[in-house]
Structure 1
Amino acid sequence: MDDKRKRARVQGGWASSLNSRASSCATSGASNAKNQVFPSSPQSRAGRGEQLSSKKHFVFKAPEQVIRKAPQPKMIEKQGIYEISTSPSGVSRIHLIPGFIDLNEADWMFEQLFHEIPWRQRAHVRQDLSYDEPRLTAWYGELPYTYSRLTMLANPHWHPLLTMLKDRVEDFTKNTFNSLLCNLYRNEKDSVDWHSDDEPALGQNPVIASLSFGATRMFEMRKKPLPEDNNDYTYVQRVHIPLDHGTLLMMEGATQEDWQHRVPKDYHSREPRINLTFRTMYPDPEAMHT
């Protein structure tokens, strides 16, 4: 009897051990089956693709905004010839000659011009309102000069000093001039606003010779904007040129067609300044092509 009980306990132990091993193998097999990679069918791949695509979200990114900055003015102070722009109109060129007139000569020339030129202040009419030009002027030549709807009658009797200066400028520049606009800036409050010397009577691509005496004033230039900029001058090229006592400035090529210039008010310069601008006038605008 005891022998039968021993065998039963041994057999029960073996049975339990075998059952435990079988259960462990089954569990391990199931786990391996989960981790094992099997070739997937097209249907299962499509299903996973749908799940992945459903997790993607479209994010809108606004295009980077181009920030335009107004360029710093280019300062021109040294003697030389400068091509300031090139366009279908041609090359815009300026020639700066500081000290064209010796300082001692420039001093007595200024005094003669200041006291002996018949300076006059002219009135403009804008929107039915009349206002005085913030400077004094005189016009010499054979033909009247019209700008900003104001006509200046010519004075054919040139002052001897003006004739001498015209000859000197012509000898240096190899250009001939028949007219002269004289400007007197009495103090820091006098100025001339943005404009171009592009009247038809001056011809195409006129050469302007500008000679300065007296106080140094800043001569500012700005390039005319492209048509698509709707006359916005914010981002155009700019050039600043300090015009000293005895300085000659030549404007040539397409400068008048492509650029504007001005002499702004300057509260740091309270002394008077005289500017002479030599130019060529044509009796008939068509004559400029002959």
Structure 2
Amino acid sequence: MADKRQRARVQGSWAGHSKTAATVFQAGRHSTQNVASTQRSPKEQAAADGRFVFQDPTEVQRKIPEVRIIDKEGLYEISSGPTGVSRLHLKPAFIDPKEADWMFEQLYREIPWQQKSNIGPDGSYKEPRLTSWYGDLPYTYSNSTMKSNPHWHPLLSMLKDLIAEVTGYTFNSLLCNLYRHCKDSIDWHSDDEPSLGIDPVIASLSYGETRNFEMRKKLPPEEKGDYTYAERIRIPLNHGCLLVMEGKTQKDWQHRVPKEYHDRNPRINLTFRTVYPEARLN
């Protein structure tokens, strides 16, 4: 009988300790939950309670498009949209290199090169290149006018006829550009002056040093002048190369020849175009 009472006391003691331990464990678990709860952010706590949580919209990540390089002969459709199709026709070896050598020397010596002054937002400035204009009509761009020069150099007349025969386009005017060194350039622009009519075709013939001809797609209004994500094209124009821009290229794209930061020999660029009298444009 004494043994039974002793076992009962031991079991009762163990039960008491077990109840106490369980109480401590449960309290500790609730305490841990309370600590975890206090460490949550308001949004996390609301989500845990099943309440609606407003999330800031995820910012759309835009990728800057890679520059497209065009350096092989061919006809390229560079864009197509509501306005129409923009095309480039590239002929890297239009003039044989040996022929191009003597042509360059003759044009360099005999064209009456001059430095044109333009008018910009900050006043008058001199173009960073030399130019010469041929045609029956004057040509106005950048708020200044080049006088007509109807007396074509014989070599220029021959080249005009050759390009017309090959391309099927006829031209009545020519802007000659001489880039004397790496710092000579022309900034972003389009050949879209009213005197050139609708969808002007420009045939660009290059001699001398290879320079990069860069293009970028014009922006929609929502871009607010930020060209970060604009489509871009780079074309190395080499000795004897012919590039024809047609379709909506002048309406939908801009182009430039940028400054460079290493030595460059002179380059001559002949840009054949058609200028219309004002009476035909009205």
* TM norm. shorter chain > 0.5: yes
**Structure 1 regions of 5+ residues with no counterpart?**
1-52
1:207 paired with 2:201, answer yes
**What is the aligned partner in structure 2 of residue 262 from structure 1?**
256
**What is the aligned partner in structure 2 of residue 287 from structure 1?**
280
Segment of structure 1 superposing worse, 82-91 or 98-107: 82-91
CA contact (8 A) 1:221 1:259 kept: yes
Tell me the SS of whatever aligns to 2:108.
helix
**What is the aligned partner in structure 1 of residue 61 from structure 2?**
67
Q: 1:260–1:121: structure 2 CA closer, same or farther, 3 Å change rule?
A: same
Q: Deviations over 1:95-135 (max 9, x none)?
A: 00011000000000000000000000011233453221000
Percent identity over paired residues: 65
**What is the aligned partner in structure 2 of residue 197 from structure 1?**
191
Give the superposition deviation at 1:154.
1.2
Aligned positions of 1:164-179 closer than 5 A: 164-179=158-173
1:151 pairs with one of 145, 148, 151:
145
Q: 1:54–1:252: structure 2 CA closer, same or farther, 3 Å change rule?
A: closer
Please give the TM-score of this superposition, normalised by the length of structure 2.
0.80
CA contact (8 A) 1:217 1:269 kept: no
1:228 paired with 2:194, answer no
Give the superposition deviation at 1:229.
1.6
Q: 1:239–1:188: structure 2 CA closer, same or farther, 3 Å change rule?
A: same
Q: What CA distance in whole angstroms lies between the structure 1 residues aligned with 2:245 and 2:57? A: 43
1:140 paired with 2:143, answer no
Superposition RMSD in Å = 1.6
Segment of structure 1 superposing worse, 208-217 or 65-74: 65-74
Tell me the SS of whatever aligns to 1:156.
coil
Give the superposition deviation at 1:81.
0.4
Give the superposition deviation at 1:54.
9.8
What is the number of equivalent residue pairs in this alignment? Answer: 236
Tell me the SS of whatever aligns to 1:165.
helix
Letter of the aligned partner of 2:166 in structure 1? F
Q: Deviations over 1:233-273 (max 9, x none)?
A: 11111100000000000000000000000000122351000
Segment of structure 1 superposing worse, 123-132 or 227-236: 123-132
Tell me the SS of whatever aligns to 2:59.
coil
